[in-house]
Structure formats: structure tokens, C-alpha cells
């Protein structure tokens, strides 16, 4: 086992801020991308459905 | 038929073969059944160059790729933190390598993929190629930023600086600006066909920067170290190397999954006037 304790794991030999700063931002950006992607799909579908309905209304008039 | 040389046996035997279009020969590639919708039949890959057939295929692949990405990431992180030993020179901070190198590789590979799709789009005129190129860009930019960010956090404790105008770092920063330029340009131009072409040109011209990034550590002797691995020997411990490669594979699976999800939105947007897309919008839009 590389780590004697959980605090040693967090400390990363005194370089915890750099290591976890790297991994943390990576995780954060992945979460943001996943969130943005699901929002984009929903927004696209809603907007295109509205456009479709507006087109239909135009044709009926 | 006498003038064609029917007496020549060689010519005659050749003529017994039916003449086929190359697409009919090369397009029929056998794939495992899981990927083929109509089972036990050869699949024509050219079929999937149309947005209409690619859209459902992409939808089917996403959960598999996402699952593979998650499993590889868990395995890679386990190796990175619990198996790979402490580095003799750098201590624990070297563990940044497990995201830094895969992110940097991915940022270059994605840009080259964008250039590839752009070239195909310009040469063959397939709309889906441009959609693919545009779907790749945001994820490429994400990995490019992560390569720079993790590089800065690694540089500070090991080199004493977050940033230097070193050849590798500067060309990587240029790559980030190329990604931003591609995204901004394709979104800013109203006429989608012109936007496709403009984006393709940025992708193709900017691709020159990728080999510059890759070879920068050889061509200029500035701050960034040379590559840690090459074909013949590696300066890393085996478990470190395996961990890094697994993380790189996770990044590949993640990128493909994300790109396929994104390209599905782009396909719907751009193909909305076709019957099949209009039907899909009616079906999915109601519950969105």
C-alpha cells in the first residue's frame, strides 16, 4: 500500500493542492460538459418543436 | 467481338468477371452482429454517411461508449493512485501525468479528426462530415484547456513556474485559440453552408499546428521536457505507463460518446426540414 492513511493520500507528499487542483478541475469540467450537453439536447428539441408548430400555423393561414 | 481479341485466352478469362463499382466491393464489410441492425447481413458502411441512418446508430453506440469510458476511468484512476509507485525524483506530484498526457494527446487527436472530417466534407460534400467536425470542437477545446491547466499546476512545483513562453506550451495555447476560433466562426456565420466551409478551412489550416506541438520538444530546446515514452523505450515504470494508457483510452471513449451525443443535436437542428427529422422532433420534443 502506497498510503499510510487517508490524510497522507489527501496530502500527496505536500503537493495535494497541485494534484487535486488538476483532478478537481478535470472532474468539474466533465460534469459541466455533461450538463451542458443534456441541456443542449433538450433546448434543441424544444426549440425545433416550436419552430415546427409555427411553420404549421403559417401554412394553415 | 472478334476485334476485342476473343482468341486471347487471358483476356477472355478476365472478361468473365462481372464489373463492379468500387463502393460495392469495399463498402461491404462484415462487422460483429451487435453493430448490425439487420442481423446476419453484411453492412454497407456508406449507408451511415447519411445523417438519417447515422442518427439512430449514434444513439445506440452512446451507452456502450459511456460505459466503457466509466470502467476505464475507474481502472485507470485505481492504477494511478493505488498501484503506480511514488516517483523517485518528483514524489507524488507526478500523478498529474495521468490526466495531463491523455488530455494533451486527446486535444491533438481531436483536432486532427476535425481536419479529417473537414477534408472529407470539402472533397465529397457530405453534410455529416461537417457536423462531426463541429461536434468534436468543444470537447477538443476542453481537453486542450485541461492539458494547459494541469501543465501549469505541474510546472509550478517542478519547474518553479506556472507558465513560460516555451515552444510546447505556446503552440498548445495556440491550439486552444484555434478551437475557440473554430467554435466562434461556425456559430457566427448565419449561412450554415458558408459556416461549414469556413470552419473546415480553420480546421485544415490549423492542423499544421498539431505536428508543431508534437515535435516542439525536439525542435526547440526550451523548458518542456521531451516525451516520456516512445516506441523503443520508456522512461516510466510499467504500472505508471499502463495507468496512463488506460486513462488515455478512457479519454477516447469519453470523447467519442460525447461527440456522438452532440452530433445528434446538430443533425436534428440541420436536418429539421426532412421528414424523418421532423418526425423525430415531434416524438422527442413533446417530452423534452
B91: β partners: B87
The beta-carbon neighbor of B146 closest among A12, A29, A34 is A29
**Cα angle B220-B225-B231, degrees, rounded to a multiple of 5:** 95
- Using an 8 Å CB-CB cutoff, list chain A residues near B145: 29
- Percentage above 90 pLDDT, chain B: 71
Shortest Cα distance, chain B CAs vs residue A22, angstroms:
5
| B-contacting residues in A 1-60 (Cβ below 8 Å) | 1-3, 9, 12-15, 18-19, 21-23, 25-26, 29-30, 33-34, 37, 40-42, 44-46, 48-49, 51-52
Q: Is the CB of B270 inside 8 Å of chain A's CB atoms?
A: no
Look up the ipTM and state it: 0.93
- Taking phi over 0 as left and psi of -120 to 50 as alpha, with beta for the rest, B115 belongs to alpha
Q: What would the 3-class secondary structure string for B28-44 be?
A: EECCCHHHCCCCCCCEE
Asked if A22 and B99 come within 8 Å (Cβ–Cβ), the reply is yes
Highest average pLDDT, of B2-6, B18-22, B244-248, comes from B244-248
Q: Is B136 exposed, middle or buried (0-12, 13-18, 19+ CB in 10 A)?
A: buried
Query: What would the pLDDT profile of B54-68 be if each residue is shown by its tens digit?
Result: 999 999 999 999 999
* Shortest Cα distance, chain A CAs vs residue B239, angstroms: 13
Minimum distance, in Å, between the CA of residue B265 and any CA atom of chain A: 6
Residues in chain A: 61
Share of chain B above pLDDT 70, in %: 81
The pTM is what? Answer: 0.84
| Contact of B119 with B204, CB cutoff 8 Å | yes
Which alpha helices (DSSP H) does A1-61 contain, by range? 6-11, 16-60
| The residue to which cell 418526425 is assigned | B279
d(CA B203, CA B193): 15
C-beta neighbour count of B24 within 10 angstroms: 11
pLDDT tens track for B39-49:
444 455 566 78
DSSP string, B166-189: -HHHHHHHHHHHHHHHHHHHHHH-
A:B CB pairs within 8 Å: 92
Amino acid at each position: 500500500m502506497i498510503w499510510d492513511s487517508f490524510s497522507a493520500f489527501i496530502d500527496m507528499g505536500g503537493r495535494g493542492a497541485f494534484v487535486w487542483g488538476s483532478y478537481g478541475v478535470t472532474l468539474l469540467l466533465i460534469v459541466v460538459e455533461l450538463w451542458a450537453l443534456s441541456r443542449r439536447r433538450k433546448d434543441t428539441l424544444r426549440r425545433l418543436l416550436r419552430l415546427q408548430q409555427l411553420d404549421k400555423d403559417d401554412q394553415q393561414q | 467481338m472478334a476485334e476485342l481479341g476473343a482468341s486471347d485466352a487471358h483476356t477472355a478469362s478476365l472478361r468473365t468477371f462481372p464489373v463492379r463499382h468500387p463502393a460495392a466491393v469495399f463498402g461491404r464489410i462484415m462487422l460483429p452482429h451487435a453493430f448490425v441492425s439487420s442481423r446476419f447481413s453484411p453492412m454497407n458502411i456508406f449507408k451511415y454517411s447519411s445523417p438519417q441512418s447515422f442518427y439512430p446508430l449514434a444513439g445506440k453506440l452512446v451507452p456502450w461508449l459511456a460505459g466503457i469510458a466509466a470502467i476505464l476511468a475507474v481502472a485507470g484512476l485505481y492504477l494511478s493512485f493505488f498501484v503506480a509507485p511514488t516517483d523517485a525524483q518528483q514524489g507524488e506530484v507526478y500523478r498529474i501525468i495521468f490526466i495531463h498526457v491523455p488530455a494533451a494527446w486527446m486535444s491533438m487527436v481531436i483536432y486532427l479528426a476535425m481536419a479529417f472530417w473537414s477534408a472529407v466534407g470539402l472533397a465529397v460534400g457530405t453534410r455529416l462530415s461537417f457536423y462531426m467536425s463541429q461536434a468534436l470542437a468543444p470537447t477538443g477545446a476542453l481537453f486542450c484547456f485541461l492539458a494547459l491547466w494541469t501543465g501549469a499546476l505541474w510546472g509550478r512545483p517542478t519547474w518553479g513556474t506556472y507558465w513560460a513562453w516555451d515552444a510546447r506550451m505556446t503552440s498548445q495555447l495556440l491550439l486552444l485559440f484555434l478551437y475557440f476560433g473554430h467554435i466562434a466562426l461556425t456559430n457566427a456565420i448565419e449561412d450554415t453552408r458558408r459556416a461549414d466551409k469556413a470552419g473546415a478551412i480553420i480546421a485544415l489550416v490549423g492542423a499544421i499546428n498539431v505536428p508543431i506541438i508534437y515535435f516542439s520538444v525536439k525542435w526547440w530546446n526550451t523548458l518542456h521536457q521531451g516525451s516520456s515514452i516512445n516506441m523503443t523505450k520508456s522512461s516510466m515504470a510499467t504500472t505508471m505507463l499502463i495507468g496512463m494508457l488506460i486513462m488515455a483510452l478512457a479519454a477516447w471513449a469519453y470523447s467519442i460518446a460525447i461527440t456522438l451525443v452532440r452530433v445528434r443535436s446538430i443533425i436534428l437542428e440541420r436536418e429539421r426540414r426532412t421528414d424523418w427529422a421532423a418526425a423525430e422532433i415531434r416524438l422527442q420534443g413533446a417530452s423534452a
